[in-house]
Amino acid sequence: MTTPSQPALSYRIATAADAPAIADLVNSAYRGDSSRQGWTTEADLLEGSRTSAHEVSGLIAAPDSVVYLCFADAEAATGAPSELVGCVNLAKKGDGAYLGMFVVKPTLQGGGLGKRFMQEAERYAQALWNVQKMWMTVITVRHELIAFYERRGYRRTGRVHPFPANNGKETMLVENLMFEEFEKVLPQA
């Protein structure tokens, strides 16, 4: 069921031609002033690009990895094309799948689209690879984001890793950033 605040959604696997649009969406959701329109911004923590079209192309081409796209379908009456509103990188690792680079367009955050897209991404990974669990890493100071993932069933694993400082594309605005791992056991059909 969709409402005006919850558009009809469609999904597909990204191709190399999608890489520039994906990089733009990811950077708009995580960094810079445009990211402040949503609640997932890292603009006060990190400066610089979150990703590039080149990096996204690598994720698309990597074995056991897909970049899964979410589109808000336009009304048939308007004839407008569907709009890219979300993306996620799914990568198979053992009996699980890593969920990374999860993005919803900043102006559409807070309306339930992220919940719907995450459920679909989990369903897709399970159908594609028959995985038993999903896992992710989250910057430890992102309390509201951690709470969102916990409401979706993700649990802390107790594993914490330093954020990769001086990676050449980002500058830390806050010292001692850390990643924490979260895991979710998927229901088996």
pLDDT in tens, 134-170: 999 999 998 999 999 999 999 999 999 998 876 677 7
Domain ranges, residue 33: 9-185
Classify residue 23 by burial, with Cβ atoms within 10 Å: 0-12, 13-18, 19+. Answer: buried
Domain assignment present for 3: no
Domain assignment present for 85: yes
- Of 56, 125, 45, the closest CA to residue 84 belongs to 56
Residue, of 42 and 56, whose pLDDT is higher: 56
Domain assignment present for 75: yes
Domain assignment present for 114: yes
Which CATH number is 176's domain given? 3.40.630.30
Q: Which residues pair with 185 in a beta bridge?
A: 133
Q: How far is CA 122 from CA 93, 102, 118, in A?
A: 14, 12, 6
Instruction: Give residue-wise pLDDT tens across range 107-124.
Output: 888 889 999 999 999 999
Q: How far apart are CA 185 and CA 183, in angstroms?
A: 7
pLDDT for 75 beyond 90 = no
Domain assignment present for 1: no
Model pLDDT, residue 189:
66
Structure tokens at 146: 């951690």
Classify residue 82 by burial, with Cβ atoms within 10 Å: 0-12, 13-18, 19+. Answer: middle
Domain assignment present for 2: no
Kindly report the average pLDDT of the chain as a whole number.
Answer: 87
Domain count, the chain: 1
pTM score, two decimals? 0.87
